[in-house]
Amino acid sequence: MSAETSKVGKRGTVVIPASLRRRYGIKEGSLVIAEERAEGVLIRPAAALPVEIYTAERRAEFLLSNAVDVNDYARARKEVQKLGLDPDTIPHHNPTKA
């Protein structure tokens, strides 16, 4: 483990030494996490993953296709109807017809 000294600039900016940026893949625009620790502040690389937002139809497909038995499928159909959709128009795997 190596340690290098940096200076805090205006608005709290901290320059991470080039050797450490290269080692940890931190580039201009990279996200980092500043985490409070008992010893001080830990700055480490962060990963941002895209969030998938499902349509009502896709949620309905999940509900219907993941039912495990006849009773669960009936509950899923009711939930889909609560979404304002007709379960018969949603492409899905029907466990009652397996």
- Tell me the domain boundaries of the chain: 10-45, 56-97
> Which pLDDT does position 73 carry in this prediction?
93
- Report pLDDT for 82: 95
pTM: 0.50
CA distances from 97 to 18, 36, 68, 69, 91 (A): 61, 55, 12, 10, 14
- 20-61 residue pLDDT tens: 999 999 999 999 999 999 999 999 999 888 998 999 999 999
Question: Which of 14, 53, 96 shows the shortest CA–CA distance to 87?
Answer: 96
Q: Tokens 């340690």 identify what position?
A: 3
Q: What is the pLDDT of residue 35?
A: 94
